[in-house]
Amino acid sequence: MPVFTMKAIIQRATRGSVTVDGETIGSIGPGTVILLGVREGDTEEAARALACKTVNLRIFSDEAGKMNRSIQDTGGAILVISQFTLYADTRKGNRPSFIRAAAPELAERLYELYTASLRAELGPDRVQTGRFGAMMQVELVNDGPVTIELTTD
């Protein structure tokens, strides 16, 4: 399995939505809301591997109440939001630096590949997105709460 530094913050949700300029552009019922960060040096292989890990991650309860089911198993939906701020560097001073985040061209390409890979696994109707580079308002009702970070960095 490839080493990837892309970062996905996966939040199990009963519902989620994203709004741009007062218009809701994506919304889901039960499933996951994912904040996705792309780092300089990330690859297409990393985007595909992270998408595979995402759809197979067992964070939903089975009949016994154990986290033993994936989004594949539950039929839930995914809302993916690009978020370069996941790579904020706050080691020096009080103002975050985003030097580790990928340049917009690379980040958008890998964000699109990640979402396309999710759609290939789950079907196009089960994956919603925000708008890359836009100022977005994200709402979610975190279920559990369950929040998992996927990365090998």
Residue 2 has pLDDT above 70, yes or no: no
Its pTM stands at 0.93
Residue 16 backbone phi and psi in degrees, to 5: -160, 155
CA distance 152 to 16: 26
Quick check: is 72 catalytic?
Answer: no
Collapsing DSSP to helix, strand or coil, 83 comes out as coil
Q: 74-133: per-residue pLDDT in tens?
A: 999 999 999 999 999 999 999 999 999 999 999 999 999 999 999 999 999 999 999 999
Residue 3 has pLDDT above 80, yes or no: no
Selecting among 83, 115, 128, 129, the annotated active-site residue is: 83
Selecting among 19, 84, 115, 128, the annotated active-site residue is: 84
pLDDT score of 5? 82
CA distance 143 to 135: 25
Quick check: is 137 catalytic?
Answer: no
Tokens of 59: 């964070």
Residue 139 backbone phi and psi in degrees, to 5: -120, 140
pLDDT score of 114? 97
**Domain 7-148 -> CATH class:** alpha beta
Mean pLDDT of the chain: 94
Collapsing DSSP to helix, strand or coil, 77 comes out as strand
